[in-house]
Amino acid sequence: KGKNKSFVAKPQILSLDKFVKWPKSTEVTLAHLIERKLIKSGTIAVKILGGTKLESALTFKVPVSASAAKAIEKAGGKIESA
């Protein structure tokens, strides 16, 4: 049953609270997340989940959940397709 299962990379999940102290108008990309050691260098997929209030306006260029999108836009940030 599971022998021929395709290997689909599951995204690494990050909470929105990891970005609370980031400077205003910073771009959040896969490269920046690796640079700040929030994810491992071999990671190819990431998803940002909500659950906390965001203070600064950031530009996200990685996939985000619906609740994270609301919090980002409420803080004045933008979501751009990756």
Give me the pLDDT at residue 5, please.
66
In a structure prediction context, what are the per-residue pLDDT tens digits for the chain, which is 82 residues long? 567 666 777 899 999 999 988 999 899 999 999 999 999 988 888 999 998 888 889 999 999 999 999 999 999 999 997 5
On whether the CB atoms of residues 75 and 59 are closer than 8 A, the answer is no
Main-chain phi, psi angles of 68, to 5 degrees: -70, -40
Q: With 0.85 as the threshold, say if the pTM is over it.
A: no
Handedness of CA 41, 56, 49, 82 (dihedral sign): negative
Give me the pLDDT at residue 15, please.
93
Give me the pLDDT at residue 4, please.
66
Q: Reduce the DSSP state of residue 69 to 3 states and report it.
A: helix
Whole-number Cα distances in Å, 19 to 6, 7, 36, 45, 55 = 33, 30, 11, 18, 9
